[in-house]
Structure 1
Amino acid sequence: MDLLRSLPIGLYLEKPLTWLHRLDPRVKLAWLMSLILTPLLSNPYWRIFLVLFLIIITSLALIPWRVQKKQMSWLLFLSLVVFVMTSFSPDGFNLTYQPRLPTSDIIITQPTDYQYVLYKIGNLTVTRRSFDLAIRVSTLLFTLIYSSNLYLLTTAPEQITAGIEELLSPLRKFKLPITEIVLTLTLALRFIPLVLEEIQNLIRSISTRAINWKKLGIKKGLKIWLIVAEKLLANILLRAEQIAIAMEVRGFTTPNQHQVQWHQLKLSIYDFLALFCLLLFWFSRITIGN
Structure 2
Amino acid sequence: MDLLRSLPLGLYLEQPQTWLHQIDPRVKFAWLMSFLTSYTFATNEWRILLVAVLIIVTLIARIPQRVWRQQMGWLLMLSFFVLVITAASPDGLGIDYQPRQPVNEQIFTQPSTTNTTQVSQKPFINNKEYSYVLFHTGPVKVTRRSVDLAVRLSTILFTVIYSTNLYLLTTAPEEITTGIESLMQPLRQLKWPVTEITLTLTLSLRFIPLVLEEVQNLMRSVMTRAINWKKLGLKGAVKLWMIVAERLLENLLLRAEQMASAMMVRGFTSPNEHRVVWHDLRLKARDWLAIAALTLFWGVRLALGNKF
Instruction: Place the TM-score, normalised by the shorter chain, in its bin.
Output: over 0.9
Partner of 2:112: none
Counterpart among 121, 130, 149 of residue 137 in structure 2: 121
1:267 equivalenced with 2:280 (yes/no): no
Unaligned runs of 5+ in 2: 108-123
Contact 2:50 2:159 in 1 (8 A): yes
- Unpaired runs of 5+ residues, structure 1, are none
Partner residue of 2:77? 77
Deviation at 1:98, TM superposition (A): 7.4
Output the amino acid matched with 2:55.
I
Q: Does 2:169 correspond to 1:163?
A: no
Distance in 2 separating the partners of 1:85 and 1:94: 19
For 2:211, which of 195, 201, 209 is the aligned residue?
195
Residue deviations 1:216-269 (CA, integer Å, cap 9, x gap): 111011111000000000000000000111111112221011111111111100
Aligned residues: 290
Aligned to 1:126, the other structure's residue is in SS state strand
Question: Aligned AA for 1:113?
Answer: E
Superposition RMSD in Å: 1.9
State the alpha-carbon separation in 2 of the partners of residues 97 and 215 from structure 1. Answer: 53
Amino acid aligned to 1:217? G
Per the alignment, residue 27 of structure 1 pairs with 27
Distance 1:124 1:27, change over 3 A: same
Match of 1:151 in 2: 167
What are the superposed Cα offsets for residues 73-132 of structure 1, whole Å, 9 maximum, x if unpaired?
0000000000000101111111235799x9978599655311111112222111111111
Moved more, 246-255 or 64-73: 246-255
Give CA-to-partner distance per residue, 1:149-184, whole Å, 9 cap, x none. Answer: 000000000000000000001110110000000000
Between the aligned partners of 1:161 and 1:17, the Cα distance in structure 2 is 19
Q: CA deviation at 1:193?
A: 0.3
Q: Go from structure 1 to structure 2 and tell me whether the alpha carbon gap of 1:99 and 1:5 turns closer, same or farther (over 3 Å shift).
A: closer
SS in 2 for 1:22: coil
Counterpart residue type for residue 27 of structure 1: V
- Give the residue type in structure 2 aligned to 1:178: V
Match of 1:56 in 2: 56
Note if contact 2:99-2:131 (Cα within 8 Å) is conserved in structure 1: no
DSSP-derived class of the 1:19 partner: coil
Does structure 1 residue 112 correspond to structure 2 residue 138?
no
Deviations 1:22-73 (A, max 9, x none): 0000000000000001000000100010000000000000000110011100
User: Percent identity of the aligned residues?
Assistant: 62
Moved more, 22-31 or 86-95: 86-95
- Look up the match of 1:41: 41
Letter in 2 for 1:61: A
Residues 1:287 and 2:300 aligned together: no
Q: Using the alignment, how far apart are the partners of 1:35 and 1:112 within structure 2?
A: 36
Structure 1 stretches (4+) deviating beyond 3 angstroms?
A: 97-100, 102-111
Q: Do the aligned partners of residues 82 and 98 (structure 1) sit closer, same or farther apart at CA in structure 2, a change above 3 Å counting?
A: closer
Matched, 1:185 2:201: yes
In structure 1, C-alpha distance between the alignment counterparts of 2:105 and 2:163, rounded to whole Å = 57
Q: Is 1:172 equivalent to 2:179 in the alignment?
A: no
* Residue of structure 2 in register with 1:7 after alignment: 7
Aligned counterparts of 1:103 and 1:267: Cα–Cα separation in 2: 67
Q: Distance in 1 between matches of 2:44 and 2:240?
A: 46
- TM-score by length of structure 2 reads 0.90
Aligned to 2:120: none
